[in-house]
Chains A and B, each alone.
Chain A
């Protein structure tokens, strides 16, 4: 079946074009709303600004296809092969992309609001400026997590997205909006979250080893049992953050604001907390071996049973702090 036939049949109300070989087809600007392209070979096809709302691309091959500016709202792309596909500025609101392969795909400025991205492979994909609010990327049955290894999410909007258990190792998330996002158990080792907004985000059990979080906003974020070994949190905002049982060994927290943060049983050994604000912070039972608190503000902090014997408190302000023996520093 050739292209003119497809378009004329579609105009007559026929929508099922499953299993065809349409590689390199040029359907740019075409109105193909609700079309069925299941198991169709569309490798290298052109869909620039095409209307593909509610189209079905299940198991189709879209390698190197150009879907820039296409409207794929509520389209089904389950197990579609979209490697190297161009989706620049495409609309994918509520699209079903479960188990799709988007390796090296370009999704710059794409709108993926409420899209289902469970088990998708987004490794090395470009998601700069993409909107993923409410998108679902969570781990499925403790397996098959979305893979974003090496992806670029600079300035991406992931507010409220579900990224629980997702693989975000070494991902570029600079200036990303992750407010209220769920990142429970996510692998964020070596990720760059500088300047990111993580206000109220759920990072329980997440692995943030060697992650870059300079100037990130983690106000009221939940970080229980998270691993932040050697993480860079310089000048980060952690006011009221929940950090009990976290591992902050060798972390860099210089000038960070941890006012009223919950740090009970936290391991801050060898961490640099110079000039940080810890007013009213709860450090009960915290492990503070060789922690550098030089010039830190620990006024009214709770240090009950904290291991402070080898901590450096040079120039630190402890007025009103409850010391390890339960006495209040005058």
Chain B
């Protein structure tokens, strides 16, 4: 194909992408984001009739690679007060524009065999395959779907390809997934799922597949934060308040959370300490009830417990709750609600006895004991009182400095039971 042929093909692709954006339910906000990216000035009132094609062409010139475009978009999003919402829109926009960078992507791949089928297969074999599809579809810019049948027409392979185009590096993938996970009401559940998605995607980045353990072990090392301007803040026409405080990105936030690393052997020892003194199924029911807010148990509900093993639930508990002072009343209250309460209180006591030394070791390592000013949150309203990032690896305990409780930005998507 000659030079004019390439230009013609590019202009056709731009026209095609422009049309796709016009059909998006969030086209007005996407247009605002495009105008912001091109002019570097936030416009609260962007004309609906604005022609996107010259703007997209300008973006291609300004940001010659998908990486640079992504970095720039994320940095801009960080200056907005609805960070999470616009992070999702930025991801959608990257999805729309990725085909324009397709040739660069191929060149960047540098001979890495891209086996989407293997990744799809691994994701489909996951016990949480449906939630994975929900999450990836949402991260690709599709609306959140509670109805599984609505997701059926969407090919998982297409989503994987799209996701890979949106996120050219593992760090970008983590950032994209993190950005959408915090908008979900079951954030801790989806955080674990996001880690498994990252692990499954590793071969697409030329890395060997990460372990499929449900314990989160897919943290990207050296993952770069987006540093945002503390002064820049903008009002959103859709009713958002002007952000007065410095914006924080999800990745920035995650870095500020305390981090504990336990070895796989430690985790198995901990599991053993629990099941030595109580029925493993009772322990699972209790932990699952606390972590997933599931209160009604019938014979059929036990099948649900087969989607996650006890060690993963223990890992998730450490990941979700930083202080024993939080875990203790939660477990005791839920145990008292389950039938028969006496058996669950016995299980509760075994769990607390086993985990207490680990929480103590974390508190000692961080020097972060609960102070008098900190109060135990209202158990009925605080689903995520404080989060701890626990990693299970071959190695000892590593605890990083204590951080802030998680902040929530943007709207929350509720998953139906």
Interface residues, chain A, CB within 8 Å of chain B?
Answer: 29, 48-49, 66, 68-69, 71, 88-91, 106, 108-111, 113, 128-129, 131, 133, 155, 157, 159, 174-175, 177, 179, 194-195, 197, 214-215, 217
Contact = CB atoms under 8 A, between A and B. Distances in A.
B280 A111 contact: yes
Contacts of B265: 177, 179, 197
B306 interface: yes
Interface in B374-417: 394
B281 A109 contact: yes
Question: How many B residues touch the partner, as a band?
Answer: 20 to 34
19 contacts: A48-B302, A69-B281, A71-B279, A88-B305, A89-B280, A89-B284, A89-B305, A89-B310, A91-B280, A110-B280, A113-B276, A129-B311, A131-B280, A155-B268, A157-B271, A159-B268, A175-B264, A195-B264, A214-B208
Contacts, number: 86
B309 interface: yes
A108 B211 contact: no
Shortest 4 CB-CB contacts between residues of A and residues of B? A89-B281, A69-B281, A129-B309, A89-B280
A109 B310 contact: yes
Contact of A88 (B212, B271, B302): B302
Contact of B211 (A128, A194, A197, A217): A194
Contacts of B284: 89, 109
Interface of B: 208, 211-213, 264-265, 268, 271-272, 275-276, 279-284, 299, 302, 305-306, 309-311, 340, 343, 394
Contacts of B310: 89, 109, 129
Contact of A49 (B264, B279, B306): B279
Interface of A is mostly: loop
Contacts of B271: 129, 131, 157
Given A175-B264, A177-B265, A131 B272 contact: yes
A128 B313 CA distance: 14
A111 B275 contact: yes
B268 A88 contact: no
Contacts of A133: 272
B280 A174 contact: no
A69 B211 contact: no
Given A69-B279, A90-B281, A177 B302 contact: no
Contacts of A71: 279
B209 to A, nearest CB: 10
Given A48-B299, A68-B302, A174 B211 contact: yes
A195 B211 contact: yes
A195 B199 CA distance: 14
Given A49-B343, A71-B279, A131-B272, A88 B213 contact: no
Contacts of B208: 214
B281 A175 contact: no
Nearest to B299: A48
Contacts of A68: 281, 302
Given A110-B280, A131-B272, A131-B275, 7 more contacts: A49-B281, A71-B279, A90-B279, A90-B281, A129-B309, A177-B268, A215-B211
A52 to B, nearest CB: 12
Contacts of A159: 268
**Is chain B's binding surface mostly helix, strand, loop or mixed?**
helix
A129 B299 CA distance: 21
A197 B279 CA distance: 25
Contacts of B279: 49, 69, 71, 89-91
Contacts of B280: 69, 89-91, 109-111, 131
B309 A155 contact: yes
Nearest to B339: A29
A135 to B, nearest CB: 13
A28 to B, nearest CB: 8
B211 A175 contact: yes
A66 B300 CA distance: 12
Contacts of A29: 340
B288 to A, nearest CB: 11
Contacts of B268: 155, 157, 159, 177
Contacts of A49: 279, 281-282, 343
A15 B270 CA distance: 37
A128 B309 contact: yes
Contacts of B264: 175, 177, 195, 197
Interface centre among A91, A175, A179, A217 (most CB of B within 10 A): A175
Contacts of A157: 268, 271-272
A303 B136 CA distance: 53
Contacts of B272: 113, 131, 133, 157
B211 A109 contact: no
B35 to A, nearest CB: 48
A108 B275 CA distance: 13
A105 to B, nearest CB: 13
A219 to B, nearest CB: 11
A71 B394 CA distance: 33
A108 B310 CA distance: 9
A175 B302 contact: no
A177 B265 CA distance: 7
A71 to B, nearest CB: 6
Most buried by B among A69, A110, A128: A69
Chain B CB count within 10 A is highest, among A68, A71, A179, A217, for A68
Contacts of B299: 48, 66
A86 B259 CA distance: 37
A237 to B, nearest CB: 9
A69 B331 CA distance: 19
Nearest to B343: A49
A59 B310 CA distance: 31
A159 B310 CA distance: 17
A91 B340 CA distance: 18
A256 to B, nearest CB: 14
B269 to A, nearest CB: 9
A155 B305 contact: no
